[in-house]
Chains A and B, each alone.
Chain A
Amino acid sequence: MSHTVLVVEDDVDIRQALIEILEDHGFGTLGARDGADALDILSRAAELPCVILLDLMMPVMDGATFRQAQRNDPRLASIPVVLLSAYRDVEKHAAPLDAVSVLRKPPSVRELVTVLRSHC
């Protein structure tokens, strides 16, 4: 099973921090700057990630639109998605997206690692 996490986050500093934390804790990582970039990376990936860490608010293609496209693609549909959002009521935004878990920005490292490990 893959140990790679796809981090979809538009803010480069947050994306880089998440990637470094995950790599420090033994994960492989892929980074995408928005939903469209993520779909492109997934279409070219030889090995699919074990989980997608998905921001909700992004330019070009937001998290909800990406999730819809991912669920409609049989090759990608089964990859679990963990949502990441600055919303205080992030759970409410997560419900219609059928995410396996939701984390509020910034998540604690322990919480982040624990949640992602349970899917990888």
Chain B
Amino acid sequence: MTSSPSDTEIAANPEPSETASPRSIDERFRALVSSVKDYAIFMLDPSGKIETWNAGAERTKGYLAEEIIGQHMSRFYTPEDLARGLPAKLLAQAIRDGRVESEGWRVRKDGTRFWADVVITALVDDAGRLIGFAKVTRDLTERLHAQEEQLRLAHAEEAVRLRDEFLSIAAHELRTPLSALQLQLQGLLERPEGIDSRIRAKLERACRSGDRMVTLVDALLDVSRITSGSFNLSASRFDLADAVEDVVERFREHAVRAGSTVTVRAERGLEGRWDRLRIEQVVTNLLTNALKYAAGTPVEIDLSGTEQDVIISVADEGPGIPESEKERIFLRFERAAPMRNFGGLGLGLYVARQITEAHGGEISLASDRPRGAQFLIRLPRAHLPGSTG
């Protein structure tokens, strides 16, 4: 700590006195000020030159007392503030109003800036003549950064909320004309009098495109339900193998187009209480991924169970998923492969995880596989008592 000459005098004579004289109280007060580290507290002469310096001033501004005493306080101001004459304005305001408080950037000895809260108080003698100023400066840089960080976080959260809200509105708005379009196409396809085979083939392709759009829009709707907390499950008792077989049956044609075979191996008695549509959706999402990213390789679905749980394993022999990606792929709008190679919204695994966890289960990627990806889903047989949120 650097002390002014008067501080040194006090420090050399520190004995306490039970009946402190006014002078010793004054000296002790000066000692207190000089030792304060969290505030820069110092005196200025009437022209703004520095007369005293305390520990807090040294710590905040970086100058030793001998370097700064006698210098003008404008030394702490930024070139921009100097250009607009801020130091003189503050002193003038302190003279006029008795005190002035301001916040702004100030400059340390090393040229770095800190965000300061400054109070300048004009000091006058008994006759009302200005004898100088007391200046108290607090470094609020950390608080400013914390506030800025909080603001950035709030902006980011708001941006995410607006994105989710937009996705929800967009998905709802897209769903209705899409339904109308599909009904029109299907109406043409299913005309009782029949249609030309070439037109039929085109209409079937158009219907398939429509189905894909419905799947994408439904994934967005699911996400908006999950994020808004309106994602509900309706439990019923069924055998998992039946549900999985249903999904695989629906994917026969898709699998053929992908050049993959899909094999299901199931133990007997895999009954439990789950939301059938949602469990089918989980299997659908995993199977869709396998047929997309591991097209041309066999896909194996194994279903097994214990007394409490059932396990669904979906394995392919495609490129697999690097260790570093294993958590990321379950996040929203993420994907295992670069977007330029594969389409999709990056929602399948996110939705699969939300559904699985809503059933009290978990979804994971098996490690130690020489090739391909293997997703494992554990579902408690009786987590859902009935309909539950």
Contacts and interface: CB of A to CB of B under 8 A. Distances in A.
Interface of A: 11, 13-14, 17-18, 20-21, 24-26, 86, 88-89, 91-92, 105-106, 108-110, 113
A18 to B, nearest CB: 6
Interface stretch (B123-131, B139-147, B178-186): B178-186
B248 to A, nearest CB: 20
A61 B176 CA distance: 18
A109 B277 contact: no
A86 B232 CA distance: 15
B23 interface: no
Contacts of A25: 190, 192
A106 B183 CA distance: 6
B232 to A, nearest CB: 7
Given A20-B187, A21-B190, A109-B186, A88 B179 contact: no
A17 B234 contact: no
A12 to B, nearest CB: 9
A17 B183 contact: yes
A113 B275 CA distance: 27
Contacts of B281: 88
Task: List the 7 closest pairs (A to B, CB-CB), nearest first.
Answer: A13-B180, A17-B183, A109-B190, A106-B179, A106-B182, A21-B187, A105-B179
Given A88-B277, A91-B234, A14 B180 contact: yes
Interface in B257-315: 275, 277, 281
Contacts, number: 61
24 contacts: A11-B176, A17-B180, A17-B183, A20-B187, A21-B186, A24-B190, A24-B191, A24-B192, A86-B175, A88-B218, A88-B221, A88-B277, A89-B275, A91-B234, A105-B179, A106-B178, A106-B179, A106-B183, A106-B186, A108-B186, A109-B187, A109-B189, A110-B190, A113-B190
Nearest to A92: B234
A86 B189 CA distance: 22
A105 B222 CA distance: 16
Contacts of B277: 88-89
Contact of B232 (A11, A26, A92): A92
Contact of B176 (A20, A21, A86, A92): A86
Which range contains the number of B residues in contact with the other chain? 20 to 34
B364 interface: no
Given A11-B176, A86-B175, 9 more contacts: A11-B180, A14-B180, A17-B180, A88-B222, A89-B234, A89-B277, A106-B179, A106-B183, A113-B190
A13 B183 CA distance: 9
Nearest to B236: A91
A11 B179 CA distance: 10
B71 interface: no
B229 interface: no
B387 interface: yes
Nearest to B175: A86
B387 A92 contact: yes
Contact of A86 (B179, B186, B222): B179
Nearest to A113: B190
Among A11, A92, A108, A109, max chain B CB count under 10 A is at A109
A14 B176 contact: yes
A31 to B, nearest CB: 14
Of A13, A21, A106, chain B has the most CB atoms within 10 Å of the CB of A106
A88 B222 CA distance: 9
Interface in B145-189: 175-180, 182-184, 186-187, 189
A109 B179 CA distance: 12
A37 B222 CA distance: 32
B60 to A, nearest CB: 61
Nearest to B191: A24
A89 B187 contact: no
Contacts of A24: 187, 190-192
Nearest to B183: A17
Interface in B232-256: 232, 234
Given A14-B176, A86-B175, A21 B183 contact: yes
A26 to B, nearest CB: 8
A112 to B, nearest CB: 9
Contacts of A18: 183
